[in-house]
Amino acid sequence: MHIREIATAPISGQRAGTSGLRRKTRAFMAPLFLENYVQAIVDGTGGAAGKTYVLGGDGRYFNAAAIQIILRILAGNGAARVILGQGGLLSTPAASHLIRKTGADGGFILSASHNPGGIEADFGLKYNMANGGPATEGVTAAIVAASEKISRIRIADSADITLDALGEVTLGAMQVRVIDPVDDYLALMEELFDLDAIAALIAGGFTLRFDAMHAITGPYARALLVDRCGASPESVMNATPLPDFGGGHPDPNPIWAADLMGLMMGPDAPDFGAASDGDGDRNMIVGRGCYVTPSDSLALIADRAHLAKAYRVGLAGVARSMPTSGAVDRVAAAKGIACHETPTGWKYFGNLLDAGQITLCGEESAGTGSDHIREKDGLWAVLMWLNIIAVSGQSVADLMAAHWQRYGRNYYTRHDYEDVDSAVADQLMADLRARLDSLPGQRFAGLRVTQADDFAYADPVDGSLSTGQGLRLCFADGARAVLRLSGTGTSGATLRIYLEQLVTAPGDLHHDAGDVLAPLAAAVDAVAGITARTGRSAPDVRT
């Protein structure tokens, strides 16, 4: 087979964000854009010669064509082997698991996660390392450097392979093994959870609804919840993956999973509801009439994980991203285990997990996971909750009520201002950053600032320092706000305001979060001038 060298030059816009490279689909489809980036990954990671890779994506528009291009470039660079999900499909958690299980050198995951799909929407490519986790900052920097001096692409002159047939094919000297995307993941879940207990719960009349949002988890959820645990087929809704996710926004939160939320808050609600995102790493948990915030979900799981098979021995430690609420900190303190606070981005959990310092971790952005892989895992969170419910015999609402009673409640909400002019957003952050030292002691909309800083993280395992990770404002009486700019958007800037208020009085645990947090939101607006600077009177999304 002939290997061609195509002359090329750096293309702008190839710097990865919070989670891989995300761009408009048309940008990815532009001549040599994907080719350049894949070659830069290869060059930035010491070449592909003799290496094994895992490859798959969430099935969004351009997935299959991109897979063929990546295969040809890997063959062109001398890779030995590619393990490919049938149909070009793999959820992010399944890909992470496969990298670890097969001892692969890395993996290419095609997804823009929860961003919409389609030719006019978003596409993405994420490179994961041999530990199964997202590329660290160091590796990402090496890829950026390679993309900035790229001069040639090595590509095999070969025809497309069939993505649908299981088994082995060759692309020149490179072996491609097409595997079932679900099997290995299913076996892993069987090791971690007592699926028989969940099956018995369901056989006893417990009802559930899982919204796959026409994204990757449909086949996984069917295999686990319907085929293995005996839930009725209609328990998995929007179960067929579609290239444009049915025109929806595959983000599992109360806004984008509105149908499921409506059902769960209505008179015919099943006992349990859940959803996952485009590539299957995020989750939403909701009980009958009871939405669980991701921060609370992490705290509850940390408290009760010992009820699930693989976590019986207890937890080595836990971690949360800085904007995630402090609910899990209170559980960790009670259990006498460490709780680490990391910057936003799953990649920051990798070292702690590898070093055995933590067992569980999670983020406010609907990510929860454990040391079983090196990505967050949507269906893992669903099974963890079902396992906890099966063993405890308590409903979602009862579990949360008992949790708050014991630990207090960290009322929590996030306000997003989307597609803000980048210059305005940067200026807002820069101005606030410059004033941080002067804020403690001052009052804004009646609330007194006690502490203000720009979050920096020193990784305890490799000593690396990450600065400028978000502005933290602590107020008197357990209120905290965080301001940061999203690193996952594809147009303009998204300003995220995270609001949290700890309440421990037993009579005040069941108020409306929006009401409790309204004074804090007003104080943040007074400090940062959000309305005045952006011209927006309200956030676009509240989660």
Radius of gyration of the chain (CA): 23
- Minimum separation from the CB atom of position 212 to Zn ion (A): 13
Beta strand pairing call for 317-321 and 338-342 = parallel
How far apart CA 239 and CA 245 sit, in angstroms, is: 10
User: Residues 402, 296: contact at Cβ < 8 Å?
Assistant: no
Task: Name the H helices within 103-194.
Answer: 137-148, 183-192
> Contact with ligand G6P (CB under 6 A): which of 486, 490, 534, 543?
486
Binders of Zn ion among residues 218 to 277 (CB under 5 A) are 277
User: Residues 445, 519: contact at Cβ < 8 Å?
Assistant: yes
User: Residues 478, 502: contact at Cβ < 8 Å?
Assistant: yes
The nearer residue to ligand G6P, 63 or 486, going by C-beta atoms, is 486
Q: Does 466 bind ligand G6P (CB under 6 A)?
A: no
CA distances (Å), origin 455, targets 203, 433, 452, 469, 493: 48, 11, 9, 5, 20
Binders of ligand G6P among residues 2 to 41 (CB under 6 A) are 18-19
* DSSP state at residue 355: T
At 476, the amino acid letter reads: A
- Minimum separation from the CB atom of position 294 to ligand G6P (A): 10
- Give the interface size with ligand G6P as a residue count (CB under 6 A): 14
Beta strand pairing call for 493-503 and 541-542 = unpaired
- The full DSSP string for 266-292 is STT--SEEEEE-TTS-BEEEEETTEEE
- Give the interface size with Zn ion as a residue count (CB under 5 A): 5
Beta strand pairing call for 81-89 and 174-179 = parallel
> Contact with Zn ion (CB under 5 A): which of 43, 194, 271, 279?
279
Q: Does 76 bind ligand G6P (CB under 6 A)?
A: no
- The size of the chain, in residues, is 543
Q: Does 113 bind Zn ion (CB under 5 A)?
A: yes
Query: From the centroid of its chain, how far is CA 503?
Result: 28
The nearer residue to ligand G6P, 45 or 490, going by C-beta atoms, is 490
> Contact with ligand G6P (CB under 6 A): which of 329, 363, 371, 377?
363
How far apart CA 532 and CA 543 sit, in angstroms, is: 23
How far apart CA 480 and CA 474 sit, in angstroms, is: 4
Please choose, out of 4-12, 62-70, 169-177, 342-350, the segment that lies near ligand G6P by the rule CB under 6 A. 342-350
Q: Which of 19, 91, 96, 113 is catalytic?
A: 113
> Contact with ligand G6P (CB under 6 A): which of 345, 369, 378, 470?
345
Binders of Zn ion among residues 412 to 451 (CB under 5 A) are none
363 binds, among Zn ion, ligand G6P, none (CB under 5 to 8 A by kind): ligand G6P
Q: Does 363 bind Zn ion (CB under 5 A)?
A: no
Q: Find, among 206, 204, 25, the residue nearest to 110 by Cα.
A: 25
User: Is 158 considered catalytic here?
Assistant: no
Q: Does 105 bind Zn ion (CB under 5 A)?
A: no
CA distances (Å), origin 75, targets 37, 81, 222: 15, 9, 34
Q: Does 487 bind ligand G6P (CB under 6 A)?
A: yes
Q: Does 113 bind ligand G6P (CB under 6 A)?
A: yes
Q: Does 375 bind Zn ion (CB under 5 A)?
A: no
The strand pairing partners of 454, in sequence order, are 471
- Minimum separation from the CB atom of position 496 to ligand G6P (A): 6
- Minimum separation from the CB atom of position 96 to ligand G6P (A): 12
Q: Does 368 bind ligand G6P (CB under 6 A)?
A: no
Please choose, out of 115-123, 379-387, 482-490, 527-535, the segment that lies near ligand G6P by the rule CB under 6 A. 482-490
140 binds, among ligand G6P, Zn ion, none (CB under 5 to 8 A by kind): none
Query: From the centroid of its chain, how far is CA 380?
Result: 13
Q: Does 488 bind ligand G6P (CB under 6 A)?
A: yes
Contacts to Zn ion by CB under 5 A: 113, 277, 279, 281-282
Contacts to ligand G6P by CB under 6 A: 18-19, 113, 321, 344-346, 363, 365, 367, 486-488, 496
Active site residues per annotation: 113
